[in-house]
Amino acid sequence: MTYHTRGSSWFLAQCKPNSHRIADRNLTRQGFRTFVPLQEQIRRAHGRFVTHTRLLFPSYLFVAFDTQRVRWQAVNATSGITRLVSFDRTPASVPLDLISQLMLRCDRDGKLMPPRLLAAGDTVTVTHGPFAEFVATVESLAPDQRVWVLLEIMGSKSRVAVPAGHLQSH
Q: How confident is the model at residue 61 (pLDDT cuts 50, 70, 90)?
A: very high
What stretch(es) of the chain map to CATH 2.30.30.30? 123-169
Measured from the Cβ of residue 33, the count of other Cβ atoms closer than 10 Å reads 17
Measured from the Cβ of residue 128, the count of other Cβ atoms closer than 10 Å reads 16
The answer on pLDDT for 114 being more than 80 is no
What stretch(es) of the chain map to CATH 3.30.70.940? 9-104
pLDDT of residue 10: 96
H helix intervals, the chain: 20-29, 73-76, 96-104
Is 0.95 surpassed by the pTM of this model? no
- Strand pairing report for 9-15 and 60-65: antiparallel
pLDDT tens by residue, 66-78: 988 888 899 999 9
- For domain 9-104, which CATH number applies: 3.30.70.940, 3.20.20.220, 3.40.50.300, 2.120.10.10? 3.30.70.940
pLDDT tens by residue, 144-153: 667 899 999 8
Nearest C-alpha neighbor of 9 from the set 97, 113, 131? 97
pLDDT of residue 4: 43
Q: Which residues pair with 84 in a beta bridge?
A: 13
Q: Are the C-beta atoms of residues 162 and 146 closer than 8 Å to each other?
A: yes
Q: If you average pLDDT over residues 9-21, what whole number do you get?
A: 96
Q: If you average pLDDT over residues 110-139, what whole number do you get?
A: 87
- For domain 123-169, which CATH number applies: 3.30.360.10, 2.30.30.30, 3.60.15.10, 3.30.70.1150? 2.30.30.30
